[in-house]
Structure 1
């Protein structure tokens, strides 16, 4: 899920649209969509790790 979000963000897709395309694959919330805030945190976290 994180890699897909990162690739969409690299293609300038807005975070709300990324959140609509993602589905949680495992865990308690399996099959649900993450919130925009969760996707935004993940995208920022990934960006800080890669330095972009």
Structure 2
């Protein structure tokens, strides 16, 4: 989907990996601390990463 929004395929793949890692970390922290704030923080950051 990212490559349809003006990102080159290589750049889109890098963003996909970064977002996936951010989400994995946020899920781990949320489960560990029983707090959903890490997930909210990631959801707030994703649009900032994808701005052109």
After TM superposition, the score normalised by the length of structure 1 is 0.33
Structure with greater helix percent: 2
Which is higher, the Rg of structure 1 or of structure 2?
2
After TM superposition, the score normalised by the length of structure 2 is 0.33
Q: Which has the higher contact order (CA 8 A, sep 6+)?
A: 1
